[in-house]
Amino acid sequence: MIITIDGPAAAGKGTLASKLSKKYNLAYFDTGMVYRAVGLELMLAGISPEDVEKATDFAQKLTFQRMNELSHHSEFRSANGGKYASVVSSYPQVREALLQMQQNFAKNPVFADGSKADGAIYDGRDTGTVVCPHADVKLFITASPEVRAERRYFEFMSRGHQALYADVLEDIKARDKRDSERATAPMKPAEDAVIFDTSALTIDEVYQKAVKIIDSKQ
Ligand code: DC
């Protein structure tokens, strides 16, 4: 079984995907990681995220191993890391270079320890539309920018990052705009996706809703 969960930043995709991966024994791919990894390569090399050629070069060379190494860096999930990721993800050449790597994951889905999974669950912006257009279940999770900024703000705090709520909100709005207005693979629900707004729902309510949808489609 392949499940995709798309939606804007901090809508709760990651939390939901982790819970569902355990319930259905699915290997989880957080696809934002590929863009964060390319952004961080640029940052570490002191190269501007505006440098399309260098970004494409790093994207073409990216491996799972390198992505996992970079994911331990403190800037990987920082506000600045998110900005770099959002900028590089707007380049068609970068998206193209990272597509195969994302699609291959579903061909032989395995957990981090190498054991075999019963399928894959993806989260991102275009996993139901571009990465896995034939997924069995497609969800599109959203919430208001204010609710998402609050969630991201507390996430930064819990990781020990300094942030101001107003800055996080502004950043979320800028990222929404970039993610949904880019020419290649803009963030949008697949035609056959089930859309739900999590602004007024608890994590458990979102999870129960998703389980019902998945069980009804199986
Ligand atoms: O989900 P995230 O915040 O880790 O994603 C980081 C950036 O990567 C985000 O601004 C948009 C981009 N992204 C994308 O364009 N397509 C995806 N499938 C996943 C993420």
Quick check: CB of 35 below 6 Å from ligand 1?
Answer: yes
How high is the pLDDT of residue 210?
A: 97
- Where residue 25 falls (left for φ over 0; alpha for ψ -120 to 50; beta otherwise) is left
The residue contributing the CA closest to ligand 1 atom 16 is 125
What are 154-213's pLDDT values in tens digits?
988 998 888 899 999 999 999 899 889 988 889 999 999 999 999 999 999 999 999 999
Closest ligand 1 atom, CA of 77? 4
Tokens matching residue 201:
């729902």
The residue contributing the CA closest to ligand 1 atom 13 is 32
Instruction: Reply yes or no on whether the pLDDT at 45 is more than 90.
Output: yes
| 6 in Cβ contact with 32 (< 8 Å) | no
The residue contributing the CA closest to ligand 1 atom 11 is 86
What are 53-79's pLDDT values in tens digits?
999 999 999 999 999 999 999 999 988
How high is the pLDDT of residue 104?
A: 97
Quick check: CB of 123 below 6 Å from ligand 1?
Answer: no
Instruction: Reply yes or no on whether the pLDDT at 87 is more than 90.
Output: yes
Average pLDDT over residues 3-9: 96
Q: Ligand 1 centroid to 87 CA: how many Å?
A: 10
Q: What separation, in Å, do the N-terminal and C-terminal C-alpha atoms of the chain show?
A: 9
Instruction: Reply yes or no on whether the pLDDT at 6 is more than 90.
Output: yes
Instruction: Reply yes or no on whether the pLDDT at 142 is more than 90.
Output: yes
What are 88-117's pLDDT values in tens digits?
999 999 999 999 999 999 999 999 899 999
Quick check: CB of 179 below 6 Å from ligand 1?
Answer: yes
How high is the pLDDT of residue 51?
A: 98
How high is the pLDDT of residue 167?
A: 94
What single string gives the DSSP state of each residue in 90-132? T-HHHHHHHHHHHHHHHHS-B-TTSPBPSSEEEEESSIIIII-
Q: Name the superfamily (CATH) of residues 2-217.
A: P-loop containing nucleotide triphosphate hydrolases (3.40.50.300)
Instruction: Reply yes or no on whether the pLDDT at 145 is more than 90.
Output: yes
How high is the pLDDT of residue 208?
A: 97
Average pLDDT over residues 38-42: 98
